[in-house]
Amino acid sequence: MTTVLTPASPLTAADRCDRCGAQAYLRVVLASGGELLFCAHHGRKFEPELKKIAVEIQDESGRLGGTAATATDDER
């Protein structure tokens, strides 16, 4: 079972990718109770595998596009 949640506790600059040490944008909660952090790059790369083992994936990679989801473009 995999659920993509709205972040309860946002990832911060202090959260680092377990693979490369870049800022983490994905938090993966494992069925075992463990937790993994990935940058957007590695989050995407391992996503198919992660979906098999995760009970929860918190994906904040949308924030990478700056504030894309907010209004600025519409205001022009």
The residues of the shown chain that bind Zn ion, judged by CB under 5 A, are: 17, 19-20, 22, 39, 42
For residue 4, the surrounding DSSP H or E stretch is strand 3-4
Query: Whole-number minimum distance, CB 73 to Zn ion, in Å?
Result: 29
Q: Which is nearer to Zn ion, 39 or 54 (CB)?
A: 39
In the complex, minimum distance from the CB of residue 26 to Zn ion, in angstroms, rounded to a whole number: 9
CB nearer Zn ion, residue 15 or residue 56: 15
φ, ψ of residue 26 in degrees (nearest 5): -130, 135
Least CB distance to Zn ion at residue 40 (A): 8
In 62-73, which positions are buried (b, 16+ CB within 10 angstroms) versus exposed (e)? eeeeeeeeeeee
